[in-house]
Amino acid sequence: MQRGRIIGSLWADRHLPAYDGLRLALVSRRGPDGRLNARPEVAVEVVEAGRGAEVLLADGREAALALPAGQRFIPCDLAVVGVLDNQDWEPEESP
């Protein structure tokens, strides 16, 4: 799992019927230093998170497993699986 931030939302006029009812979010992952990656990615939003929310992201097979029952076998590379309410972590300083 990785941390990230929701920077926007997306919608698709055409998509696989299996994606009906699923929300898409534009997210930016955080690197080990805590900085946001400049390259945004599309994720399926499993939890109710809004723009600007700090979130937990699952990628690969784990992203597909996070989808609701009956939709776990559709193609999915990235999913928003949690919302971070508070954090007690600071990136380590490089020597």
How far, in whole angstroms, is CA 28 from its chain's centroid?
A: 8
Report the distance separating Cα 57 and Cα 65, nearest Å: 12
Listing DSSP states for 5-18 in one string gives: EEEEEE--SS--GG
**What is the chain's pLDDT, residue by residue, as a tens digit (95 residues)?**
899 999 999 988 888 888 888 899 999 999 888 899 899 999 999 898 889 999 999 998 899 888 887 777 788 899 999 999 877 766 666 66
